[in-house]
Every structure is written in structure tokens, then in C-alpha cells.
Amino acid sequence: MTRNVSIGDVAKRAGVSIATVSRIVNGIAKKASPETVERVRKAIAETGYRPTGAGQALRKGHSRLVAVFAANLANPTMAAVAASIETALRDAGLAMVLCDTHDRADLQDEYLLEMRAQAVRAYVLLAAVASDGLRAALTGPIPTVFVNRRCPIPGKAAFVGIDNRAAGREVARALAQAVPKGRLALVHGPLSSSATADRVAGFKRELAKLGRELAPEDMATAPGVDHLEIGYEGASALLSGRAPKGIFCASDLIAYGVQRRLREADLSVPRDVRLIGFDDNPLNDWVAPWLASVRVPYRGFGEAIVGVLGELWRGESPRAELLAYEFVGRGA
């Protein structure tokens, strides 16, 4: 059919009342015979009818929509997580609405208000920032799951991610082994991110245990949220002194920026400087065979997130779901 199909069109085609179609569509067809149910379903398929989400949301108090907030969809790792979530939600009979907050509190709050107006069934925040709107949302009825970064507001909240502190410790051991002598360094993004803060803390503490404690001049960052720029500017700061022999970059995009600045200084990776990144985003095997990295299982996040959401919808207490990470050695 070329025009909008109504519930009346389905009823006419199936030879039943509109009330019967409504009950079957909403899963309360106990009084209908199996033959009637099959006839209505066939009519729905033939006409292409889809019930209006607004009407169902009014009846149920929520829609089939789950709002997913990402901090930067230009980051391949966040795109991979979003794709994983979309697949898992679709398999569960739900639909995803994807919002890019650009790591800005004002945009995050704007989207939280808009998604509440759409009667979404849950919020999934991939790299959330503290904001007034988030505080208000956490006291409301819509279940919320934090992904990659833990909830930036004190309190118990559902989380899906990895043990970033333990991964940081593993990076320290790997870098110290790869570079037994010479200066080691660190380039990281904003420590307001719990993921970054935990990676950095684990790395620094483990290096100190190994007798390779970092001095203040061995650690660099830069303003803003663009990890490529942070990597480039951070490497520039490190090169103002003696060039490091090994650098931990708290994300793969930071490592890309670092590598470019090193190349401009006629330093080769990994011959002159060993780099270890974090995320092991899908581009690494193609464009960064020189980059060792911590592989975060982003493609498996969707299933875990839907599982945690199911618990929240059943009224269970929020909890943390920690997934297994893997160190991927490259650039030997």
C-alpha cells in the first residue's frame, strides 16, 4: 500500500473488529482463536501496518526506544560500541535512538530531556559527564546504564566496562619489559573520565613498583577532548626534553597523534620509540601495525548492556558488569 495503513485497514482485510486487532497487536489476544490470530498477523504483514509508538507508549508508560548517548561518534571505538548495542537491542525487540553529546554537559542534558519526552525505556550513557540533568535523571523512573566510564555522580549505578586499573598495570609491565632501559612516558586525556583516571593510576603505580616511577615531566596532556590533538600536543611537550624510549598513550587515537609528532621529529615507531595504546580499535590492524594496545571487547558490550537493562527492568539492584580485556602485542 502506498498510503499510511491504519488499524482499520488491517481489521477489514482480516475480517475482524478493530478491537480484536488491537488486542492481538498488544499481546492480549487470549479470547481470539489461533486461526484469528494468524489471520490478523497475515493481514499485518500484507499491509505493512505498524502500530504507532506514541499510542503504545501512553498505554505502557514507555516505548520500545532505548536512548544511547555517545561522547564522540568520530571515535571508532564508540562507533563499535554503538553498533553492538543496536544489534543487541534489535534482537531483544527494542530500537535504539543514538545521540552524540560531544562530551558536553549542556548537550547531554538537552538530549536527556528530549528522550524523556519520547518515553524511552532506558538511558545508556557511553562516556557520561557530570551535569544537573544527569543528577535529575538518576532520581527518575527511567533505568540508566553507564558504559566505559562509571557514573560521574556519587551513588550506586549500573555499569558495563572493564577493569581499567588492572589493564593499566598490565600496560606498565609490558612497556617496562619492552623498554628495559631509557625514559618512559605517559600521554593521557582529561582525568575527569573515570576510565582514563583508572588507566593512568594503575599504570603509574605499577611502574613505581617496578622501579620506573614517572617524573612530572614524563606525563603530558593537552586541553580539549580531541584525542588526536591531545596526542600530538602531548608528544610535543615530551620532546622538549630527552626523547622517551617508550610511551603509554591512554587511547589509540592519542597514540595516532603521538606517532605523527614523533615522525615529524624523525623518530620512528617502534624502532626509536615503543608505543602502547588502549582500546585496540578496529582500524589498528589496517593502519597501525606498529601499535600494541589493550583490546576492549566493544563488540560484546551490547549483549552485556541488554542483560543489565533486563535486571533493572525486573527491579533488581544496579551492579557492575566487568568484561575481559586482552593485551595485543604489535610493533615488536
In terms of pLDDT, which residue wins out, 53 or 321? 321
Q: How confident is the model at residue 64 (pLDDT cuts 50, 70, 90)?
A: confident
H-only helix segments in 61-180: 76-91, 105-117, 132-138, 164-178
Query: Does the domain made of 164-295 have the CATH classification 3.40.50.300?
Result: no
Residue 286 carries which side chain, given as an amino acid letter? W
Q: Please indicate whether the domains covering 62-161+298-324 and 164-295 agree at the CATH topology level.
A: yes
Residue 187 corresponds to which cell in the numbers above?
600521554
Q: Please say whether the beta carbons of 200 and 191 come within 8 A.
A: yes
Question: Cα dist. 30→7, 38, 56, 93, 210 in Å?
Answer: 19, 13, 19, 21, 68
pLDDT at 2: 41
- Joined together, the cell numbers standing for residue 85 give 548495542
Which band of pLDDT confidence, cut at 50, 70 and 90, is reported for residue 57?
very low
- Cell numbers for 236, please give them: 610535543
Residue 54 pLDDT class (50, 70, 90 cuts)? very low
pLDDT tens digits along 93-117: 899 999 999 999 999 999 999 898 8
Distance CA 138, CA 135 (A): 5
146 φ, ψ (degrees, to nearest 5): -100, 140
pLDDT confidence of residue 199: 97
- Written as nine digits, the cell of 171 is 600496560
Please, which pLDDT band fits residue 332 given cuts at 50, 70 and 90? low
Q: From CA 204, how far away is CA 195, in angstroms rounded?
A: 14
154-193 pLDDT per residue, tens? 989 999 999 999 999 999 999 999 999 999 999 999 999 9
Q: What is the mean pLDDT of the chain?
A: 90
Return the higher-pLDDT residue of 117 and 302: 302
Quote the CA–CA distance of 20 and 209 in Å, as a whole number. 71
**Domain ranges within the chain, ordered by starting residue:** 7-51, 62-161+298-324, 164-295
62-161+298-324 carries CATH number 3.40.50.2300: yes
Residue 3, pLDDT score: 52
Indicate if the alpha-carbon torsion angle 173, 179, 181, 183 is positive or negative.
negative
Pick the CATH number of 7-51 from 1.10.1060.10, 3.40.720.10, 1.10.260.40, 1.10.240.10: 1.10.260.40
pLDDT at 1 over 80: no
